[in-house]
Structures are given as C-alpha cells and as structure tokens.
Amino acid sequence: MFKEERHAEILRYIGENGKITTAQIQRMYSVGYGTAMNDLDELAEKGLVQRTHGGALKMKQVGYAPDGIRSMSAKERCTEITDNYLAIARKAIEMIDKNDVIYLTSASLGYIIAKELPADLSVTAVVNSISIAEELRTKPNCRVIVTGGEMHENGNFYDDFTTAMLRRIKFDKCFLTSAACTASFGMSVQTARNIGLTNIVIENSRRVIGMYPAAKLGCDSILQICPANVMDILITETEADDNVCSAFTDLGIDVIRV
C-alpha cells in the first residue's frame, strides 16, 4: 500500500471514529511505530488531524460548537465530570493561596473548581455565572462577587455593566479556558460575547492560568480572544501532544500536564 493510500484510510477511520492511536495504525497496516508517528505528523502538518500524545483526533471545524451548549449554564454542561477535567480543576485549586482574589471562567471547568473548592479555603471569587456563584455559596470561607448586567439565557453576564464591574477589580489569579487554543493563534472562541470581558480580566490579573484538555489544544476556533503568551501557566493533561505543548513552552508559558 502506498503512503498516500494509507493516509486516506487513516483519515476515513478518524472521520468515522473520531480518533486513532499509533498502536492502531501499527496493527491495521503492519507498520512500525516510527512510520505510524510520521503518518500522523504529516497529516497534522496539513491541518487534517489534531495530534495528541500517542494518536490523533478528528480536526474540529473552526466554528464547531456542540448542539445547544451556548444556551446551557456551566452546571448544566457538567452532567458528567470526566477524569481529565477533574484533574485539571484540582491542579488549578492547588494554585489558589489563602486570601487570594480569583476570577473563575464561566465554562464547565469553572463550575468544577467551585464544586471542588475546599470548604476551609479563605478566598474571594469573582464570577459572571449564576450557577457557579450558587455552588460557591455553599463554601463558608468563600466571599463571592457576582458581576452585574443583563443575564443571558445560560445564566451568565456579558454586557457593559459586566465589563464596567470587572474593570474595578484586581485579581491575584484568573482561571480561564475557551473553545480552543494554539501557540500561534492563542485562545479562541465561537462567539464574541466573552472576548471583551476576558481581556479585561487578563489585564487586571497578576497571574493568568489557562486550563485546556488535550482536545482543545492544537486547534483553533473562529475568533481570537488573545495571544497565547498572555498565559503564565497552562494546565493540560498527559494526553496532550508533546509538540503542541513544546510550542507553548517556547513562548515562556509554564506547561503543567496532569
């Protein structure tokens, strides 16, 4: 079989199954590990797949968003908390010091952090999400500041009242995520509503911590929020591709894999 034929079959398999591993390529085509790695590297360089550690994922369209997710609250998105999201959230919590003022993303990772936050940790948390604020309300040592504004159907706030409030607050640390992130394009999203407030939070934070599962790294969404090098720390998972992580390290970002 010619390499081009193998690549076409690999792409067809990923299209049907969403992912493939190097071990599967070795078994399917009786090739060595190096050949399997080179196949995926070449396909990734052409923008046809998204590399992960030991395999590849189907490349998302830049405007991709799961059906209905834009109207769902952070809590509603967390019907099932996966191990990789939980590990990233717990690593983020380890970075929170006593009496810190923090900003939590309104995405599902922000909700998981709120849910996992130790009850005895004294902290001030600023959020623009009703569902995350409600979770933090159960933490006796957490002071909660909710940004104002007109509430979106997902229980979050994005408007001028929200950004005016955020401009008045300084943060020790902010914990952010988005639809996608690459070293070259930075943090990116499908809709513009988060861009302004996220940049205000970044400007007002001493430390910016990005939280990205492997599936969100190495691919871009349609709208850039900010360059990648605004992050001081990037928390991802062990499945993240080595080359993808190295590109962030080259920007001076401390990459932590959990």
147-191 pLDDT tens trace? 989 999 999 999 999 999 999 999 999 999 999 999 999 999 999
Residues 6+ apart with CB under 8 A from 257: 236, 237, 238, 240, 245
Q: Beta strand pairing status for 55-58 and 101-104?
A: unpaired
Neighbours of 227 (CB within 10 A): 13
Nearest Cα neighbor of 257 from 224, 217, 227, 219 is 217
Q: Residue 21, SS3?
A: strand
Q: Residue 141, SS3?
A: coil
Q: Residue 182, SS3?
A: strand
Q: Residues of CATH 1.10.10.10 domain(s) within the chain?
A: 3-58
Neighbours of 5 (CB within 10 A): 10
Nearest Cα neighbor of 43 from 61, 60, 58 is 58
- For 3-58, CATH gives 1.10.10.10
The whole-angstrom separation of Cα 211 and Cα 49 is: 22
The two structure tokens encoding residue 48: 């046809």
Contact in structure between 56 and 218 (CB atoms under 8 Å): no
The whole-angstrom separation of Cα 134 and Cα 178 is: 22
pLDDT, tens digit, 9 for 90 and up, residues 212-251: 999 899 889 999 999 999 999 999 999 898 989 999 999 9
The string over 170-191, giving b where at least 16 C-beta atoms fall within 10 Å of a residue's C-beta and e elsewhere, is ebbbbbbbbbbbbbebbbbbbe
Domain 69-257, CATH class in plain words: alpha beta
Q: Residues of CATH 3.40.50.1360 domain(s) within the chain?
A: 69-257
- Lowest-confidence pick of 1-10, 44-53, 61-70: 61-70
- Lowest-confidence pick of 48-62, 79-93, 188-202: 48-62
The two structure tokens encoding residue 109: 């990772």
What is the predicted pLDDT for the residue at 51? 87
Q: Beta strand pairing status for 254-257 and 101-104?
A: unpaired
Nearest Cα neighbor of 167 from 204, 193, 192 is 204
Model confidence at 201, pLDDT cuts 50, 70, 90, reads very high
